[in-house]
Amino acid sequence: MIKKTFYNLPEEKRQRIIDAILSEFARSTSDKININRIIKAANISRGSFYQYFDDKVDLVEVLFKTFFDISLEGANTAISESNGDIFFTYEKLFEIITDFANNEKQKIVLRNLIRNIKVNDNLVSDYLLYRFKGFAELIDVSKSFNRSNLKYQSDYDVECLSQILTQVLKNAIFNVFVIGKPCKDVKKDYCRKLEIIKLGAVKE
């Protein structure tokens, strides 16, 4: 578990450590992550490293939180701007996440993480199974969606809709970061799928 001492660090030093972790995951698969390289790149001592982190799973958490927090903030902004429109929010989420692809290091890290999820890599799986708290935050976000224009408005139904849209989003993200399809083409396909879900496939 990431220790409070890490979050209590000055912003510049904490960001330097995050950048070192990003660089390491950009150059290596998670099973070959080298703590010594991270320590050297971050310009900290080994003792300091273990004052901040318990193990390598903590490093995965740093990365997921970095990307997830930015995405969650963007989702909340989109909800506010659109009066809670769930489809507008998911379209914006695609733009927010794929914007990471503009940074080559972030693009490689996300590609590696997504690949590791797909192959059930132990380091990433351990984090997602035992430490990831983001699902609760996503459920909280779903409670902010405006239901006035939805056919199905119960908490359960809105959560189901959010889960469906999340799966479509995940497939699109996979196509961009792992398959390497052009973002413009993936977005067009993604938005079409959102439209089909929004309008429904069955005639009135």
Digits of tens for pLDDT over the chain (204 positions)?
889 999 999 999 999 999 999 998 888 766 678 999 999 999 999 999 999 998 888 998 888 888 888 888 888 899 999 999 999 999 999 999 999 888 888 888 888 888 776 655 567 767 766 666 665 666 667 788 999 989 888 989 998 998 899 889 989 998 998 888 999 999 999 999 999 999 988 877
Q: Distance between CA 158 and CA 148 in Å, rounded?
A: 12
User: Residue 41: inside a domain, yes or no?
Assistant: no
Q: Which domain holds residue 181?
A: 55-199
User: Residue 33: inside a domain, yes or no?
Assistant: no
User: Residue 2: inside a domain, yes or no?
Assistant: no
Query: Which helix (H) or strand (E) element contains residue 103?
Result: none
Q: Distance between CA 25 and CA 86 in Å, rounded?
A: 33
User: Residue 71: inside a domain, yes or no?
Assistant: yes
Residue keyed to tokens 């590696």: 112
Q: Distance between CA 22 and CA 14 in Å, rounded?
A: 12
User: Residue 6: inside a domain, yes or no?
Assistant: no
User: Residue 165: inside a domain, yes or no?
Assistant: yes
DSSP at 28? S
Domain count of the fold of the chain: 1
Q: Distance between CA 13 and CA 20 in Å, rounded?
A: 11
Q: Would you call 126 exposed, middle or buried from its count of C-beta atoms within 10 A (0-12, 13-18, 19+)?
A: middle
User: Residue 25: inside a domain, yes or no?
Assistant: no
Contact indicator for 179, 101 with CB cutoff of 8 Å:
no
Q: Does this model's pTM top 0.85?
A: no
The two three-digit tokens of residue 40, written as one number? 């050297």
Closest CA to 71 of 111, 100, 103: 100
Q: Distance between CA 106 and CA 99 in Å, rounded?
A: 10
User: Residue 144: inside a domain, yes or no?
Assistant: yes
